[in-house]
Structures are given as C-alpha cells and as structure tokens.
Structure 1
Amino acid sequence: MENGHKYLLRTDSFPPCNHPSGESGNLNYSRSLGTDGNWIGCGFIAQVHSDGNYYNIKFPYFSLVYVASGTGSYIDQDGNVFPLSAGSVFMRLPGMVHSSTVDDVAKWREYYLDCDQALYDQLIRQGLLSAKLPVLQQSPSDRLMGRLEDMLSSLKHGVESDLAEIQIHFLSLLVSLTRSQEAGSKESQMHRRITQACEDFDQIYAGRLDLRAYCMDKGWSYEHFRKVFKQHTGIAPRDYLIRRRMDHACRQLRSSSLRISQIADQLGYASQYEFSNQFHRHFGVYPKHFRNGH
C-alpha cells in the first residue's frame, strides 16, 4: 500500500515526502507489522525533487538507500564527505543530522528501504545493522535491484497472511545491502552466511533439510549458526523453513486447485494429516477451512 507512515512524520528539520507513488515513475509502499506501531517500507525514486539536494536534515525514521545510477555525495554530522555512485549504499539514521547531494538529477535513480525508529533500534541491538559506517560501496548489482523490485511488489500487493514472509525478505535484503560493512570482520562474515542461508532456504524449503548436514557441508558450526541465525532474523532456522512452507501452502490454497494431499506431498510432508496439523498450529485454522475462507 502507499507509504502513509512517513507522510505522517514531520519535524522542523525533516522535509515533506516529495516522492509520491506514480509521480514520474516514483514508487513508495509500506506495511504495518502487527499493532505495536512498527512498519517497513520500500521505494524507488526516478525523479528527485528540484535539485535533489538535502542539507542538514534529520529523518525521524531509518532509511537505507541503494544508488542505482548517478553520482553525488553524503555528508555526515561531522562534515566528512563520502562520494556516491552506482552501487553505493548510504543510511539516513533517525535523529542524525546529515546532508546528501546529487550531481545530475536526470541521471539519479535510487531504491530505499525504511522502517520506524523502534524497529531500527531493535535491529541495532540484534546486530543486523550498524551505524558505524553510514556509507558503503559495492559493485552495481542487477540481482539486488531485482530483489528490491520484488520487495516493492510484495508491499504493494501482499495480503495480511503474506506479512511474515515479507518481513523475512525485508530483513534478508537489509543484510544483503549491508554485507560489505566492516568487511573482513567476523560480524560481516556471519552476515554473509545468514544471507546465503536465507537464499538457500528460499529455494529448498519444500524438502526436508538436514540442518546439521547443511552446516557441515558449508563448514559452519551447527550450534553457532542456529544461535546467530536467530539473532539476525528473530526466528530459528527450522522455524524459518516451516514459515516458508506455510507461506507456499497459503499461496497454493488460494490460487490453485491442487488437493490438500497434493500440497502436503509437494512440501515434503509424510501425510496430509501431518501437514494439516502443522498448518493449524501455525495459523489456527485447518487448510480446508482456510481455502473455504472460514
């Protein structure tokens, strides 16, 4: 849906949101997470406002920007200047004074992920984000831009039952965009491992994965991987895989004519009974009733 969350946020040093969806190709969507005020958003800017420059501003929420094309600069609160170009990632930290400039508005394109400050603080505590390096440089990646496009589509079209999957993909994308942060450190290495694991799990969730064998094949400590995966994503690897199976099951129940037994078999369950019980534990309703809208 349209990102109304940030439209409601105003401070003396925060400019109005000047990039509504549909204007010159700009896109801007968000979704609420539960009832505690948390939200996540994603956008694309193809047409920046006026000269594209922001001076001495403070955002009341967190925003991570991926530069798709063009050049410019980011200036932190201490006056340090960081050059920006295609592949650069920079952060607008909540409450932190900074500036950003664009050299040529006709060439500038950017994607961004954003969220409320409370969720940002939680991600900092979990070690998923770090405010130490506000600007990171990576090589331009069509794959990353493809994932950002997928996130835009998910936020725009996803239904309530998709929110868990959307949040997981949002977190995975944050990790991917910041994985060069503190390059060479153990934290950065674990970020890359979690990103790789999420990508692997997104492809193989339908089978019954032996997590110990998976970690052994990667040369990782199983117990350490389980601990760090949960710290970064908020759920254990096994629960991540179950959630991905359940999300797939929901899509099949809504959009296909497959029998429930066929869906169970497709997702690697030993029986329809086993699948139905896990679906019920996850959603509080059995697959048959979910399909019938009850």
Structure 2
Amino acid sequence: MSQILITADELADLLSADSPVRVLDVRWRLDRPDGRPEFLDDHIPGAVYVDLDSELAEHGAPADGRHPLPSNALLQTAARRWGVNDGDVVVVYDDLKSLSAARAWWLLTDAGIADVRILDGSLRAWTNAGHALEQGDAVPAPGSVTLSRGHLPQVDIDQAAALAGRGALIDVRAAERYRGDFEPIDPRAGHVPGALNRFTAQNVDADGRFLDPETLRREFAELGIEHGEPVGVYCGSGVTASHAFVALTLAGYSPTLYAGSWSQWSNHPDRPVAIGSEPEGALASIQKEKS
C-alpha cells in the first residue's frame, strides 16, 4: 500500500522499457460523465478509456445509491476488455486531480491487483513534463486477469452509522453540501449525524498532486482523526470517497469506505439527517419536526 502514486517521468520510463503496464484513462465529471470525447482528442499513448458509470459501478434502486460498487463479474469483464493480465502494473489517471482515477485504484486494489498506481497530478502532470499524447481510440487485445474482491475494508449503511458514533466518519463533500445549504442531486440535504467534514480536494495541491504524508497526517489530526481509531469516508455517490481513502492511506491511516455514501443514506427516509457545520448539526429539531 506504500506504492500508490507514480510520477509522469516514472510512467514514461515504464512505457519506454516495454514493461507489462496497462494505462487506464478514467476521465469522468459529475456534469460531464462521458469522458470519451476528451479521450479521443488526446490521451497518454497506449491508454484505454474506462467508462466509470458502466464499468466501475452497478445501477440499481435509488436506495442503493448512485454508484454502487460493481460486481466482481462486471469488473473482471471490464478489466479484460482493457487488456489487463495477471501480473500487470496498472496505472490510472484522469484530468481532474485524480478524483475519478482513485475510484479505479480502489476497485482494482480491492480486486487483488498487486500494483495499481495513480498518476500523481493527473493528465496535466504528463503534459507539463513534456511527454507526448496520441489521438483516436485504443482497442487492446483482450486480457485474462482473474479478480477476487474483498482486499480493502468497506462498511455498509448500518456500519457507517455506528462508525460515526464510535470512531470517525468523514464526509468529503464540499462544506455547503455537508451543511445542507443546498443539495443539487440527492433527495435530502445535510450529512450523516456525527460525521466530520473535510473536502477531498483539500488533499491535493494547486497542481492536483497529493500533499505529502506529513502534511496530510497533520491536517487529519487537526480534524480530530487519531491513529488507531476506526475512520471511514463517504461522499455524494461513492466516487470521490475513494480519493479521500487514498489520502488517508498515504497519511498512514487504515481507512474504510462507505461506498453507498450520501446518495444511499438520503434515499432512506428512516435515517436521521443533520444540518449545519457541526457533526451532530440540528438533528434534534429535525427529529421533532418529523414526529
């Protein structure tokens, strides 16, 4: 787990050495989920486009959340389409601070691939280092990788509720969504009662590179996260929570992922909701209004 990030120059060296490396382009944004047009315009040579919505997530009932984790069968089929074989080094990247690439890192690491790296600084780091891009589609020979899930810790909705009370649960959405000032997507605004807030974009610098481990440790400690206590992360739909999972791991913590995240929690009317800037928020008044 100590080898999570890779620099642009290190990736270029791997590619020039003809090492068994598979590069995955995971461009995705909430307002523009299909990153294929941008991929076709330019991408790292040899990279394969990954469709986050269809290959890195299942789709079921609203009560499951917007991006439930995919089944092992779905993920393995996708990984073989990408040309991944057992023993490959897999490097994932996007064009937005690794927010979506981290989802691919989490899933493939959880599925047992031993060496998955995130291109630190995203696609911009590659171009700023002077490395070439290519255009058009990429269709590799099918891979034969065998995946097995369950190598990384995660919690379900009940365990997330318990974690907020006995350890630390971090809501990694922007502060205004955590407070419940507005909610543009999900049915209720606010946060899981007891959850702390740290926007995951705070874990990277202006160039989109992850902060160094010492800085991350200090900032998580200032939030109140103690080493040795259980700590979980969630976001809106389960995508960017993986980014915070990476940051916590870099900082030396052993995090767990609540993949259902706010999109699942807010679709369960029986679950309490807190609003405001404090972890418990205005929970009592909300409960009184509903009674």
Higher relative contact order structure (alpha carbons within 8 Å, sequence separation ≥ 6): 2
Same fold (TM over 0.5): no
Max Rg structure: 1
Task: Give me the TM-score of the superposition, normalised by structure 1.
Answer: 0.31
Larger strand fraction of residues? 1
